[in-house]
């Protein structure tokens, strides 16, 4: 069957506000985020920008000064444009300052999950070769351990500091001079056939992504976002932080998600926006205070499918028709339900301005993507980059989609073996490799089983080589894997189901 390409003219128009026009796709990323941020800060330095529980509100002018000071300190420590700086810290104003300072200086930020264990951290450090690492304490002596992991894995000297960038003040750095094609983020995403690899997102990618969402979600100076998503995730950092700063809006940063804390923040700070993953909406819907979501202008869900039943429940109980969208680490956000049109349960919507979508091989088919938001390739992995794109430059998403009669995209499956649990991606191969490292494990296969709260739960099917208890194996995995990757249950088998070529039949495990 031939490929199916969406009618992009109609799709893009569905996202444009009245009176807005869309230039070429390239124009979306023509102005870098650091330059756009600076213009916003200079236009209204007294405007409130960010709030956290420790420091309260910070104005745009104060934020600009703090980022310039932090950039000067990083420069004084020897960092130069193009150097990688690992960022693994909780959600706080200091973390956002450090992030913005790095981008303003031309550094490449490497976001790393704060829950990573030594094995996971060491791989990123060895692969990215950062010149600096910004780590928070993580509570107790966890920060010291993590700093030790970084230093042990680094090939040479590495500057390790906290989010406050507590270094001697340096000279006055040249800021906001990055070019659109310069690398901005190096985000690690795993695959089914090897260790995690770094997706390189350029400043043009980030700017295009932010501008498309400004248009599509009517994001403006008047908006205030309650952000409880982690900053090491592209959803929290690449959407929440970048978008807020790009449009000159404000954000309330919560250290972690808690339904009551989110609802309190909405009321206390007159918030207008909330971005979350389906697991968060499950908990909000279960709260006796769920109706308080009606205060918001817009609720957005992503990172995992939002069940249609939950969408309708929230609409019925709170009046909020949650806007679902579709994105990836390698592409930021590609597709969104329209702000002013029909937000369809079970659908992720229409292509955003500048984004092209094609279904390979007919409908349903693998979703192919192209546009100024799509990354150019993986860090020092030409083989993986070549595999990720087809001959015409379309990125292979690995997701299977179908179009309804009005052109709305629905995700109906995955060509890859990805598990999505609580909005986080889990790749079976990595978990299986850890389990096979136990002396009592002869073989292992990992799949995601349905969960009403988490979407999927990581479940391991194990063939034993010797006697071992479930708790022992789960503890062994927990010592080497971030919390979202850890198996929650072990099921014992005499042998794994395989086809004639030796490939594990995962669909039989899920049955």
- Residues in CB range of 192: below 8 A, 6 or more apart: 416, 417, 418, 427, 428, 429
Convert 116-162 into a string of H (helix), E (strand) and C (coil).
CCHHHHHHHHHHHCCCEEEECCCCCCHHHHHHHHHHHHCCCCCEEEC
- Asked whether the bond before 120 is cis by omega within 30 degrees of 0, the reply is no
Q: How confident is the model at residue 190 (pLDDT cuts 50, 70, 90)?
A: low
Q: Which of the two residues, 141 and 265, has the higher pLDDT score?
A: 265
Name the least confident of 275-284, 416-425, 480-489.
Answer: 416-425
* pLDDT > 80? residue 403: yes
Give 288-297 pLDDT, tens digit per residue. 999 999 999 9
Residue 184, pLDDT score = 98
More confidently predicted of 414 and 213: 213
Give 493-505 pLDDT, tens digit per residue.
Answer: 998 888 765 678 8
Across all residues in the chain, what is the average pLDDT? 92
What are the contacts of 72-75 at 24+ separation with CB within 8 A? Answer: 72/169, 72/170, 72/171, 72/172, 72/173, 73/165, 73/167, 73/168, 73/169, 73/170, 74/101, 74/102, 74/105, 74/107, 74/132, 74/159, 74/165, 74/167, 74/170, 75/105, 75/170, 75/171, 75/173
CATH number of 419-510: 3.30.300.30
The CA distance from 200 to 385, in Å, is 11
Q: What is the pLDDT of residue 500?
A: 60
Using CA atoms, how far residue 341 sits from 11, 166, 323, 401, 509, in Å, is 11, 48, 10, 21, 40
pLDDT at 139 over 50: no
Task: Determine the average pLDDT of the residues in 84-112.
Answer: 98
Which residues fall within 8 angstroms of residue 316, CB to CB, at 6 or more apart? Answer: none
- 461 pLDDT more than 90: yes
- Whether the pTM exceeds 0.75: the reply is yes
pLDDT digits over 32-57, tens only?
A: 999 999 999 999 999 999 999 999 99
What is the CB-side half-sphere exposure of residue 62 using CA atoms within 13 A?
Answer: 14
Confidence at residue 140, expressed as pLDDT on a 0 to 100 scale = 46
pLDDT attached to residue 361: 86
| Per-residue confidence (pLDDT) for residue 57, from 0 to 100 | 98
């Amino acid at each position: 069957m031939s490929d199916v390409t969406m009618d992009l003219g109609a799709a893009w128009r569905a996202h444009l506000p009245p009176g807005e026009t869309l230039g070429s796709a390239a124009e979306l990323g023509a102005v870098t985020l650091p330059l756009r941020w600076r213009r916003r800060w200079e236009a209204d330095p007294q405007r409130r920008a960010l709030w956290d529980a420790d420091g309260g509100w910070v104005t745009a002018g104060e934020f600009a000064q703090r980022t310039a000071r932090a950039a000067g300190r990083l420069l004084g420590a020897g960092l130069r444009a193009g150097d990688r700086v690992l960022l693994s810290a909780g959600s706080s104003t200091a973390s956002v300052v450090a992030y913005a300072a790095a981008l303003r200086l031309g550094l490449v930020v490497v976001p790393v999950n704060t829950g990573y264990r030594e094995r996971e951290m060491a791989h990123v450090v060895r692969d990215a070769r950062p010149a600096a690492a910004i780590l928070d304490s993580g509570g107790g002596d966890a920060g010291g351990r993590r700093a030790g992991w970084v230093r042990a894995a680094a090939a040479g000297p590495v500057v390790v500091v906290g989010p406050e960038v507590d270094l001697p003040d340096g000279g006055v750095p040249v800021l906001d001079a990055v070019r659109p094609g310069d690398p901005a983020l190096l985000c690690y995403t795993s695959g089914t056939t090897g260790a995690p690899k770094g997706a390189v997102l350029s400043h043009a990618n980030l700017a295009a992504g932010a501008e498309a969402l400004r248009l599509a979600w009517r994001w403006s100076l008047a908006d205030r976002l309650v952000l409880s998503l982690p900053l090491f995730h592209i959803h929290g950092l690449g959407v929440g932080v970048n978008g807020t700063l790009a449009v000159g809006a404000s954000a309330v940063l919560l250290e972690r998600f808690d339904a009551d804390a989110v609802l309190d923040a909405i009321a206390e700070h007159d918030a207008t926006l909330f971005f979350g993953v389906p697991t968060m909406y499950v908990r909000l819907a279960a709260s006796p205070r769920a109706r308080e979501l009606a205060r918001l202008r817009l609720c957005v869900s992503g990172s995992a499918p939002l069940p249609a039943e939950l969408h309708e429940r929230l609409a019925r109980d709170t009046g909020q028709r949650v806007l679902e969208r579709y994105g990836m680490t390698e592409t930021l956000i590609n597709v969104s339900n329209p702000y002013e049109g029909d937000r369809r349960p079970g659908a992720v919507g229409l292509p955003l301005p500048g984004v092209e979508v094609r279904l390979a091989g007919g409908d349903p088919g693998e979703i192919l993507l192209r546009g100024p938001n799509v990354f150019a390739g993986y860090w020092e992995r030409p083989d993986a980059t070549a595999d990720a794109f087809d001959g015409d430059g379309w990125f292979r998403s690995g997701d299977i989609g179908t179009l309804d009669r009005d052109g709305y995209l629905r995700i109906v499956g995955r060509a890859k073996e990805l598990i999505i649990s609580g909005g986080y991606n889990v790749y079976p191969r990595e978990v299986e490799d850890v389990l096979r490292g136990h002396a009592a494990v002869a073989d292992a296969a990992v799949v995601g089983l349905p969960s009403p709260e988490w979407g999927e739960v990581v479940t391991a099917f194990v063939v034993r080589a010797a006697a071992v208890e479930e708790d022992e194996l789960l503890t062994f995995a927990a010592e080497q894997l971030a919390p979202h990757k850890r198996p929650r249950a072990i099921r014992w088998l005499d042998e794994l189901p395989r086809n004639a070529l030796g490939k594990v039949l995962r669909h039989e495990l899920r049955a």
